[in-house]
Amino acid sequence: MRRTLALAVAAATMLTVTTQLPASSAAAARPVVYLTFDDGPSTDTRAVLDILARYGVKATFFEVGNAVAGRASIARRVVAGGHRIGNHTWSHPSLTKLSSAGVRSEITRTQDAISAATGRRPGCVRPPYGATNATVRTVLGSMGLTQALWNVDTRDWSGISVSAIVASMNTARHGSVILLHDGGGKRGRTVEALRTWLAANHSRFEFRTLPGC
């Protein structure tokens, strides 16, 4: 994401994520959190992967097709690290402004690019800006893909400080889907925030990749 829409629907969209643990075991287990990264792969993705590997944390990366085409080796490293890759469209448009054919083209081109780079086809899509509607959902459903939004927006894309990003991450609780960015601009502050937050919280949560991706 390079900017964010108001997403009152995000939490409802991701409700299935919060029910992965049986009620009897959820309280006893560590809270489950899902780290997600948008707009890569980029050169900053390498630093993100290094930090995740240091703490044994798995994440989901929503990659832009034209970036994958230029950095296939980084996409392969994401998969090799045990992470999941989701589809973030080919050119990062607002899908609600496209026709059904336009939405399908953006998704299909990215599916093909990710498959060519990694040998895997994503099972989920994150619409850029969180912009979705009935047309988008219908196209994704016809392609057998699920839509994946978020419920913790760090706004790391907006130029805020490392401490502000960390403060947003500190609101995480069981079932949180945290939105971060490893591409779409220089992400040094995101990298430092991730390093700081995981150093303090890696043992507090159980980190999983998003179901369906």
Contact between 168 and 158 (Cβ < 8 Å): no
- So what's the pLDDT on residue 28? 53
Q: What is the DSSP letter of 14?
A: T
The token pair at 112 is: 């093909």
- Gyration radius from the chain CA atoms: 16
Q: Where are the alpha helices (DSSP H) in 56-206?
A: 65-70, 72-80, 100-118, 134-142, 162-169, 188-201
pLDDT of 110 higher than 90: yes
Domain ranges of the chain: 10-14+31-207
pLDDT of 120 higher than 80: yes
Average pLDDT of the residues in 38-56: 98
- Tell which wins on pLDDT, 8 or 94: 94
- So what's the pLDDT on residue 18? 35
**If you average pLDDT over every residue of the chain, what do you get?**
90
pLDDT of 17 higher than 60: no
Average pLDDT of the residues in 34-56: 98
pLDDT of 29 higher than 90: no
Contact between 178 and 126 (Cβ < 8 Å): no
Residue 8: pLDDT band by 50, 70, 90 thresholds?
A: very low
Average pLDDT of the residues in 28-56: 96
- So what's the pLDDT on residue 4? 39
pLDDT of 70 higher than 80: yes
Catalytic positions are 38, 181
For the domain 10-14+31-207, what is the CATH code? Answer: 3.20.20.370
Average pLDDT of the residues in 149-160: 97
Residue 194: pLDDT band by 50, 70, 90 thresholds?
A: very high
Average pLDDT of the residues in 33-56: 98
- Tell which wins on pLDDT, 39 or 4: 39
Residue 150: pLDDT band by 50, 70, 90 thresholds?
A: very high
